[in-house]
Chains A and B, each alone.
Chain A
Amino acid sequence: MPIYCSGDIIGVNDASGRTSWAAGQPIPKGVWTEVLDSGLQSTTYSQAVSVGELYSAIVLVFHNDDNVIYDAAVWLASGDHASASIVQVGRVYDTDRLDDLSISCSSGVKTITFGMDATSGSRLNAYIMRNQ
């Protein structure tokens, strides 16, 4: 099979199939990237994640407790070099588990704070698809 390239080939997935990305770096565009996996938590949880430079994105957040979805939310984010805003598109299930996202911005780099209420076995996973 020939491969024709007009630009660089950038490997976006690691060996496990997840998008390769490290906090603080820009997220590859057009692919869903896991930006937070809280691990198992038992008390209130909050984590700020530097998601790099982005100007628009879709953010999907899952709250899972003992392997059952308790809350899930979809957000849209947008911003410039100095500011950013984020709005919820939809939310389902036990709507009091996930906290609203908060976002701060410095030189285009967005830092998003994810938080949740947690009982034993709770986990928070967040994914971003950067558009721009």
Chain B
Amino acid sequence: MEPSQLARFEAATLPHLDAAYTLARHLTLNQHDADDVVQEAFLRALKYFGGYRGGDARAWLLAIVRNTSRSWLRRERGDAGVVEFDEALHSEAIDDQHPEAEVLRAVDRERVREAVDQLPLEFREVIVLRELQGLSYKEIGEISGIPVGTVMSRLSRARRRLEGALGAGKGGLP
């Protein structure tokens, strides 16, 4: 590969290293795994860079990070989180109570992090992309390989689930 090609690749992708790391960290739930996934994803991206035709480099890179994370989880952990996600089924498990907004705001940070970590992978993915990285539904759809309508319903269910988890045992209203 020409040195100028590598320079072009680095200019397009390295600005999004933090975003890539944030996503990998939340999908693998482990710092060292996130390191490895990010490296593998960037090497893959470099290999596919010839096919990259400009456009949103962040979404392009994050899609590769997302896919690499999933194949990593499957390979390294035989991870159940990656298998057979059933949106409706996963949504049913919600503790059907509605905590007050003030209760939600008062939940300590450690418990919020735990609640996010315990989300099914598909929910965690859209939450991280939306709430931590501020991506649009269209971008999230491109990264996760789902239609915008699915992004919308999945995010809504993920939020509903977080609401239930954060309010649990905190005396919310029925």
A and B interact: no
List chain B positions with a Cβ less than 8 A from chain A. none
